[in-house]
Amino acid sequence: MLTIYTSPRCHHCTNVKEYLQELDISYNEVDISTDQASKDWILEQGHRTVPQIYQGNTLVVENGATSLLRLTKDQIEDIIDNI
């Protein structure tokens, strides 16, 4: 299952979550503003923005929302299946 690292008032985060819901793709959301360990981990991975989309410890797409919103359901599921 995907994990979406988010923060409040992030419209890109909202767009990604709505898109995945439309595609009926399950995900867990982690709000890094309330989860310091996750925030630290995201920073350790070199990210400075959210959303960041992971499958386990593997980044699903570079550039978060910008890249994910360009993918079809089949493309996203293919990425998930091959991680």
User: Tell me, what's the pLDDT at 48?
Assistant: 95
Burial class of residue 52 (count of CB atoms within 10 Å of its CB; 0-12, 13-18, 19+): buried
The model's pLDDT over 9-66, given as tens digits with 9 standing for 90+, comes to 999 999 999 999 999 999 999 999 999 999 999 999 999 999 999 999 999 999 999 9
For the chain, domains (ranges, CATH) are 2-81 (3.40.30.10)
The helix (H) or strand (E) run that includes residue 53 is strand 52-55
User: Tell me, what's the pLDDT at 26?
Assistant: 96
- Helix extents (H) in 1-82: 11-22, 36-44, 64-68, 73-81
**pLDDT band at residue 2, thresholds of 50, 70 and 90?**
very high
User: Tell me, what's the pLDDT at 53?
Assistant: 97
User: Tell me, what's the pLDDT at 74?
Assistant: 97
C-alpha to C-alpha distance for 40 and 25, rounded to whole angstroms: 26
Average pLDDT over residues 55-79: 95
